């Protein structure tokens, strides 16, 4: 059994016009020390997936089904009080915008001590010592001085280092990082990513990295999920997916990157845009943009238009696509097997 097992997770937002299905049948697992990337465009549901893990989705969102099993305990349905032992302690989170995450009226030291004392019975003096140690680990210049500084006195990259230090404070088993470097410049992004990677490796911390950047995922993670319109559509070892993507959407995403084309040539764009979640197309949510369906001889592909595709295994990956299933000769695997 893995450290974290998510199975058939269904998350909906109850709106006046009806339920919006933000996540449909999302399953994945994470071993101790493993690094998993969740990739998708805006609206794919990758952030909702991350927030759901710690039951951080606010009303009108609710978990409609599925299970999140962390270290042998079921997390869904637990009270906020009992989740508090896990949140920030065993699973911690790094958010996108470092300015929004830190409290502007508390010094860095106060925020770190506050977090430690909420989880452990220790003196302020001890808590400060631990905080300082973590700031040293994230390679902040003059860490001692930083403890008494306020967030606005630090640059974006420095703030994100502080946030990583806070995420590591209680030696968590898993860190969920939601677009941790999107707000930062390329050179700073590379530094922060390298830091996060080395810390996770050193302390054997699992990492769930949510990003839209295929380059970052390719550099950092061992396994990846590709999400589209609330579903996982492809899942497998990062190298295999990057080198040989199976799902037409993943292929399209890779081919659309300028670095995949000769300079100045026409880019292989995916037509259209991601459907809104309250008005999903029938069958495979990607079919209106899929070139296997839109091309002249694809019109007969009724299955794509009518039936939500099941997962099929292809190599070490699993792919939710009728086209891939057809090519593999309908080697469908039952759902129970996938989750193991």
Partner 1 sequence: MSVADAASPLLEIRGLEKHFSLSGDFLEQLQFQGGRLVRRQEYVHAINGVDLEIQRGEALCVVGESGCGKSTVARTVMGLLRPSAGEIRYQGQRIDDLSTQALLPYRRRMQMIFQNPYASLNPRMTIQQTLEEPIRLHHPDWNRQAVEEKVQEVMTSVGIASDWGTRYGHEFSGGQRQRIAIARALAVDPEFIVADEPISALDVSIQAQVLNLLMEARHERQLTYLFITHDLAVVEHFGTRVAVMYLGRVCEIADTATLFSRPRHPYTQALMSAIPRLEDDRPQHIRLEGEVPTPVHLPAGCVFHGRCAHADERCRREIPSLIATDDGSRVACHAVEEGRLD
Rounded alpha-carbon distances, angstroms, from residue 15 to 18, 19, 252: 5, 6, 32
- Contact region with partner 1 (CB under 8 A), list: 7-15, 68-76, 267-275, 327-335: 267-275
Stretch 234-263 residues interacting with partner 1 (CB under 8 A) = 239, 242, 252-254, 256-259, 261, 263
Residues 70-109 as x/- pattern, contact with partner 1 by CB under 8 A? ----------------------------------------
> Rounded CA gap, 216 and 189, in Å?
9
Q: 94 - beta bridge partners?
A: 177
Burial of residue 268 (CB within 10 Å: 0-12, 13-18, 19+) is middle
Under the binding rule (CB under 8 A), the answer on residue 270 touching partner 1 is yes
Choose between 321 and 325: whose C-beta lies nearer to partner 1.
321
In whole angstroms, the minimum distance from the beta carbon of 242 to partner 1 comes to 6
Stretch 204-223 residues interacting with partner 1 (CB under 8 A) = 212-216, 218-219
Stretch 105-144 residues interacting with partner 1 (CB under 8 A) = 141
Under the binding rule (CB under 8 A), the answer on residue 267 touching partner 1 is yes
- The Cβ-side half-sphere exposure at 86, using a 13 Å CA radius, reads 22
Residue with tokens 């998350």: 11
Under the binding rule (CB under 8 A), the answer on residue 64 touching partner 1 is no
> Rounded CA gap, 333 and 310, in Å?
9
Residues 148-187 as x/- pattern, contact with partner 1 by CB under 8 A? -------x-xx--------------------------xxx
| DSSP label of 69 | E
Kind plus residue range of the DSSP H or E element containing 166: helix 156-168
Under the binding rule (CB under 8 A), the answer on residue 315 touching partner 1 is no
Q: Are strands 91-94 and 73-74 parallel, antiparallel or unpaired?
A: unpaired
Residues 12-41 as x/- pattern, contact with partner 1 by CB under 8 A? -----------------------------x
In whole angstroms, the minimum distance from the beta carbon of 205 to partner 1 comes to 19
Total residues at the site for partner 1 (CB under 8 A)? 42
Under the binding rule (CB under 8 A), the answer on residue 199 touching partner 1 is no
> Rounded CA gap, 280 and 288, in Å?
10
- Contact region with partner 1 (CB under 8 A), list: 14-22, 68-76, 200-208, 271-279: 271-279
Which pair of tokens denotes residue 72? 């042998």
In whole angstroms, the minimum distance from the beta carbon of 291 to partner 1 comes to 12
Under the binding rule (CB under 8 A), the answer on residue 69 touching partner 1 is no
User: Do 275 and 236 meet the contact criterion of CB atoms below 8 Å apart?
Assistant: no
Q: 320 - beta bridge partners?
A: 311
Which pair of tokens denotes residue 127? 């808590």
> Rounded CA gap, 331 and 340, in Å?
18
Which pair of tokens denotes residue 279? 């008005």
- By three-state DSSP, how is residue 91 classified? strand
Residues that bind partner 1 (CB under 8 A): 41-42, 141, 155, 157-158, 185-191, 193-194, 212-216, 218-219, 239, 242, 252-254, 256-259, 261, 263-264, 266-271, 273-274
């Amino acid at each position: 059994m893995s450290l974290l097992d998510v199975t058939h997770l269904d998350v909906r937002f109850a709106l006046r016009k009806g339920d919006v299905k933000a996540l449909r049948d999302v399953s994945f697992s994470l071993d101790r020390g493993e690094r998993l990337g969740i990739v998708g465009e805006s609206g794919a549901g990758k952030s909702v997936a991350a927030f759901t893990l710690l039951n951080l989705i606010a009303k009108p969102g609710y978990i409609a089904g599925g299970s999140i099993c962390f270290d042998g305990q079921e997390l869904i349905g637990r009270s906020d009080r009992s989740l508090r032992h896990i949140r920030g302690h065993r699973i911690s989170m790094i958010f996108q915008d470092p300015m929004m995450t830190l409290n502007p009226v508390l010094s860095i030291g106060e925020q770190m001590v506050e977090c430690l004392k909420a989880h452990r019975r220790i003196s302020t003096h001890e808590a400060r010592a631990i905080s300082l140690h973590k700031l040293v680990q994230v390679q902040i210049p003059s860490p001692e001085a930083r403890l008494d500084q306020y967030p606005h006195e630090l640059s974006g990259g420095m703030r994100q280092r502080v946030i990583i230090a806070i995420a590591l404070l209680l030696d968590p088993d898993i860190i969920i990082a939601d677009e941790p470097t999107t707000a930062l410049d390329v050179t700073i992004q590379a530094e922060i990513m390298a830091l996060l990677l080395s810390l996770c490796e050193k302390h054997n911390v699992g990492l769930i990295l949510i990003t839209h950047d295929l380059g970052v995922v390719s550099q950092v993670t061992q396994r990846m999920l590709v999400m589209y319109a609330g579903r996982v559509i492809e899942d497998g070892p990062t190298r295999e997916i990057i080198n040989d993507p199976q799902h037409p959407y993943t292929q399209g995403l890779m081919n659309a990157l300028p670095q995949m084309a000769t300079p100045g040539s026409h880019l292989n764009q995916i037509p259209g845009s991601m459907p809104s979640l309250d008005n999903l197309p029938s069958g495979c949510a990607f079919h209106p943009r899929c070139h296997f369906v839109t091309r002249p001889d694809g019109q007969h592909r009724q299955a794509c238009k009518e039936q939500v595709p099941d997962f099929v295994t292809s190599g070490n990956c699993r792919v939710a696509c009728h086209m891939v299933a057809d090519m593999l000769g309908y080697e469908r695997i039952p759902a129970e097997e996938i989750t193991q």
